Amino acid sequence: MADGIPGLALLGSGIFASSQYIPKLGELGGIVSLNTIWSRSEDGAKKALQLAKSYAPNAEAKWGQEGLESILQDKSIHAVAVVLPAQHQLEIVLRALEAGKHVIQEKPVGPSVADVRSAWSAYQALAKNDTKLPIWAVAENYRFEPALIQAGKFVKELGQIMGVQVLIEAPMNSSSPYFSSSWRREANFKGGFMLDGGVHFIAGLRMIMGCEVDSVSATVSHVDLTLPPPDNLSALIQLQNGTAGVVYICYSAKSRKMIWRVVGSLGTVEVDRTVQNGQHGYKTTYQPAKGEIQEVFCPFAGVYEELRAFSEDVARCVFQGQSGEEADKRSSVLEAMRDVAVIEAMFHSSDSKGAPSVVELELE
């Protein structure tokens, strides 16, 4: 490991770990060193390792419980990135934190608010005898997307906000590599794709609006029986600043559309997922009541930016004595829990025939 560069182990060898984390960690080679790739299976670990050989020729493949324990005991590994099925992540996250490793885990932070709160209590209990807590970060890349960040800045120019709309049509069918993933279909992960993907869209909403969702009234349905329930969600939302809005998420749609739209007394702001010059990303449009329309297109950059922020925070902790609690708040457990809490409140509302459900906003 190069001097001043923290060592990292990637825990997971699935689709997202292989297609996003491994390439992005290569791009970040100047600030983090990929030391090890671990998987539950030997085959998975070795296949993933081959994808990183071009920039991490000395990295190792490890697997199973023995391999995981070896990583947790290795003092040259300062941090781990946990990219595993959501219902199994918290157990491994806590083991890593107990071993003193800085952790970034994939979203959702947990299957339920209750699970997250329980894990948070265990994490807080590690702070004894003035020991500095390691970083516990959650990789919600939407909070790092430049176009969504810009939208939040534009929204501040809209005057009185009159409404917000979130429209998500995200076809999930056999053409998607995620369609056949088994963990999103298991009974111990209530909500399937709606929870796993829904937290993204709620994260975008919360960041653009700059305030919390206070309560929801929702209905969910199950249309496409090849998908786990639910695959459709319609909700009315009430934000803490008094703004009302609507959220519609559909995984059984036949075409793709992703829009966040905010209407204010001085104009509108809209974020639309699109493609420009062969690059996938988001276009943010600010249409003021007076003046020229402003458009900003930003290619997807959230995964890179969140891993960069985490790696820089780890380096400050390891080499400069920073506390893990000083890490980038966009990746905080609290932020990630609130995304889960909004979706969970929508499920609770639907179970109660659309009765309003208050969103759980606190970790303790």
Q: What pLDDT does residue 287 have? A: 98
Give the architecture-level CATH label for domain 7-141+303-331.
3-Layer(aba) Sandwich (3.40)
pLDDT tens digits, 304-342: 999 999 999 999 999 999 988 899 999 999 999 999 999
Size of the chain in residues: 364
Half-sphere exposure of 237 (CA within 13 A, CB side): 30
| CA 10/CA 20 separation, integer angstroms | 12
Token digits of residue 257? 């559309």
pLDDT tens digits, 187-241: 889 999 999 999 999 999 999 999 999 999 999 999 999 999 999 999 999 999 9
Stretch 97-121: mean pLDDT, rounded? 98
CATH topology of domain 146-299+339-358: Dihydrodipicolinate Reductase; domain 2 (3.30.360)
Q: What percent of the chain has pLDDT over 90?
A: 93
- What residues does 245 pair with on adjacent strands? 164, 237
pLDDT tens digits, 246-289: 999 999 999 999 999 999 999 999 999 999 999 999 999 999 99
Token digits of residue 186? 């298991």
Q: What pLDDT does residue 360 have? A: 98
Token digits of residue 328? 């980038």
Q: What pTM was estimated for this model as a whole?
A: 0.96
The DSSP H or E segment spanning 344 is: helix 333-351
| Extended beta strands in the chain, E state | 7-11, 33-39, 60-63, 79-82, 102-106, 136-139, 161-169, 213-221, 232-239, 244-250, 257-264, 267-276, 279-288, 294-299, 357-358
Number of H helices, E strands in the chain: 10, 15
Q: Is the pLDDT of residue 3 over 80?
A: no
Q: What pLDDT does residue 129 have? A: 63
Q: Is the pLDDT of residue 57 over 70?
A: yes
What are the structural domain ranges in the chain?
7-141+303-331, 146-299+339-358
Question: Do 208 and 201 form a contact (C-beta atoms < 8 A)?
Answer: no
Q: Is the pLDDT of residue 142 over 50?
A: yes
Q: What pLDDT does residue 2 have? A: 46
Evaluate whether 7-141+303-331 and 146-299+339-358 have a shared fold.
no
Using alpha carbons, list the distances in angstroms from residue 102 to 219, 225, 282.
39, 40, 31
If DSSP codes are grouped into helix, strand and coil, which group holds residue 27? helix
If DSSP codes are grouped into helix, strand and coil, which group holds residue 196? helix
Backbone angles phi, psi at 165, to 5 degrees: -125, 135
pLDDT tens digits, 72-95: 999 999 999 999 999 999 999 999
